[in-house]
Structure 1
């Protein structure tokens, strides 16, 4: 048994903060063995487990590995021949131990999952360290014939290879929804992703592409729920959000930015007990706002910490800039402030993808969390919960997201106190001192 004991550490367990704690975990089982927050947790008796690796956590904070709840791991935004290998490496360096893909082809997901298994197996056989974060996925989203995001992906002189990829995407109708869900569940989908885009928030004519009907979306949701699969949905406008919620979906993968929130949208969220993944990072790239923050985090990740390459740094400081005139990121901030007031759960996610302008998988989550605190009125603890305990609860990930006995030993050790000051997470002088996945050291 390979045991690690971190003692005398401030602990954020995914829900609450404990001033002094001792956490013991094991890489053989990949789980947390002990969480002691009693007065004697500030010390450890070396003779109790002489073979354990012991770490004095004084001046540090231990947290669950972060969950990034909205990314894409495909290579559709990358130029031909670009390096796609860092998509699971970089997040781990940023304290993100799980990423949730929201629309990629099954072959890509299965290949990455095989890489993840081999990475852990190599650690067990003697390598002793891991280098890839864990991956959850919807596989293909529930796309319709000619609908989102097919026209966008194919908009600029697509190659024959890209056309071939998009031709494999589903074309959902009420009649084939059950077959789609059965196939996805058998192939390993962790949840289902709807696509509801009327272009109202984009620099495109409203309804200029085919839009999924409420009947289709409801058929997908009903079939998914019957199969015990969670359903989340893409929508960037108020109208599209209402359709997703009226279909019975469990959450939204964006907040809307075309108008301010009203009480009736709050009631729809409450009726479904739905949550939202705001993705303020990508939405502000869409509206060409917050450029200074994108530059800040690109510089931190590149020059200060060295966790991204030059291509990703350049991608992070660019912007999509394709909003409709009425859209503004302030609508998103206002909505999240209202959700917080009314108890609608916020789950942290950015819609990052390799090569997608304004984003970088890993460091963009840091920017997202800062926006929750500085622009949406959350406390630092609430922001951290959105990327740990709340995310795990809402996605039904009962094996991670919290520091509890029996859960995965996915942990991050930070010098300083990021429960008081988020910047300690990525501070050049403080920052992340250790990341473990399944009890294996990553950095």
Structure 2
């Protein structure tokens, strides 16, 4: 589990208009409940409807805000775009400088962020892709332990791993040392690996999560057993893997392997988290748009064999659990009012996550005219 260590976020004033959503069906992280009333009382879901503006939500589904487990926003416009598609929390998986982090944090009414460390990477690795921040290359387990000690401001440790005969690769002793040092510092380790062998290496090191689905050969039952034995989670980023394959036709990558990996690991009972790897930064060989890519990711997960309910959990309750975000991911009294109101049931048709009517971030309603994306998503000012 990952626990944010930069203090409680500023949710803003609790003076936002109190709203009672009547006759709305709620997703509680496990199922869609019968119609009820949900009180949006500032930054938290309350119980007292006195003084609330009542809105009839008949025929609508209230979801917790979506959590993008893997993305790279760098501007306020990126945050606004994500918010417009119902992403209320984003887990930034590229290292940021203190000034960049301060700039991106606590934008009132926009997507809330958590931050990974700069990348732990060995020299001469193709994983060291600009413009993602790399501070020091690792050459030994001692370097790994020193690296972790320098990442006190980060919520987790990011590791880039790539197994290939053409480049230097992170060794098992270095990776083991990173995971051990991170655990000793109370941090989780997230390994970014897109080849079968690098995934296997990360699992042997007991990394908490592995991000990206293999694009050389599919995961199998052996990997699934390692995932389960270590209690590790998997974030496939299928949207990004598809973009990588399409942008590098001569590299011999195989998107089918990525999809089949999701199928095999899901059938094996491995926890799956939804992440997009969205970025508009120059440098990487692909770009994935913010916001819309989350809905595409959910659709790809379902096409890979996941039930709609489990795909929805992959974007809500599960990332909240695995990142220690105990105040979100479910629609329940006392939880943060990160909410998305949709017009149909995404547990029956995952495309319903696109049918967005209203969005709240910590009780602040996102205004339709702030983004054209909401207009195309079916936003209506009055239900």
Q: TM-score range by the shorter chain?
A: 0.7 to 0.9
Match of 1:184 among 148, 151, 172: 151
Aligned equivalent of 1:144: 122
Does the CA contact (< 8 Å) of 1:148 and 1:195 recur in 2? no
Match of 2:375 in 1: none
Q: Which runs of 4+ in 1 moved over 6 A?
A: none
* In 2, Cα distance between equivalents of 1:394 and 1:50: 36
| Structure 2 contact 73–279 (Cα < 8 Å) conserved | yes
The whole-number CA distance in structure 1 between the counterparts of 2:114 and 2:86 is: 16
Q: CA deviation at 1:323?
A: 5.8
Residue 252 of structure 1 and its aligned partner are, at CA, apart by 0.6
1:49 Cα deviation (Å)?
4.0
Alignment of 1:171 with 2:184, yes or no, is no
Q: After TM superposition, give the deviation of residue 358 of structure 1 in Å.
A: 4.6
User: Counterpart of 2:81?
Assistant: 90
Question: Is the contact made by 1:140 and 1:170 (CA closer than 8 Å) also made in structure 2?
Answer: no
Structure 2 counterpart SS, 1:352: coil
Matched residue SS, 2:120: coil
The answer for the alignment partner of 1:369 in structure 2 is 298
Aligned mates of 2:339, 2:93 — CA distance in 1: 24
Q: 1:49 to 1:236 in 2, by over 3 A?
A: closer
CA distance in 2, matches of 1:109, 1:20: 43
Task: Give me the whole-angstrom Cα distance separating, in 2, the residues matched to 1:259 and 1:56.
Answer: 50
Asked if 1:193 corresponds to 2:122, the answer is: no
RMSD over aligned Cα atoms = 2.0
Number of aligned positions between the proteins: 348
Q: Deviation per CA, 1:143-170, whole angstroms, max 9, x where unpaired?
A: 22333432x43xxxxxxxx6xx85x522
Counterparts of 1:165-244 in structure 2, within 5 Å, are 169-172=135-138, 173-185=140-152, 187=153, 189-198=154-163, 206-244=164-202
CA contact (8 A) 2:225 2:268 kept: no
- Counterpart of 1:433? 357
Give the aligned partner of residue 102 of structure 2.
Answer: 111
Q: 2-side partners of 1:95 and 1:171: how far apart?
A: 37
TM-score normalised to the size of structure 2? Answer: 0.85
Q: Distance in 1 between matches of 2:220 and 2:259?
A: 13
SS of the equivalent of 1:63 reads: strand
Q: Which residue does 2:224 correspond to in 1? A: 266
Is the CA contact (8 Å cut-off) linking 1:10 and 1:21 kept in structure 2?
Answer: yes
Decide which of 264, 267, 274 is 1:338's aligned counterpart.
264
CA contact (8 A) 2:191 2:211 kept: yes
Cα deviation, 1:79-112, whole Å, max 9, x if unaligned, reads: xxxxx44111100000000111111322354233
- 1:34-433 residue pairs with structure 2 within 5 A? 34=47, 49-74=49-74, 84-107=75-98, 109-114=100-105, 116=106, 119-120=107-108, 130=109, 132-150=110-128, 152-153=129-130, 169-172=135-138, 173-185=140-152, 187=153, 189-198=154-163, 206-288=164-246, 320-321=247-248, 324-325=251-252, 327-355=253-281, 357-374=286-303, 376-426=304-354, 431-433=355-357
Deviates more, 1:102-111 or 1:234-243: 102-111
TM-score by length of 1: 0.74
Residues 73 and 104, structure 1, Cα contact 8 Å, conserved in 2: no
Give the secondary structure class of the aligned counterpart of 1:245: helix
Which secondary structure does the structure 1 equivalent of 2:191 belong to?
strand
- Change in 2 beyond 3 A, CA 1:280/1:12: same
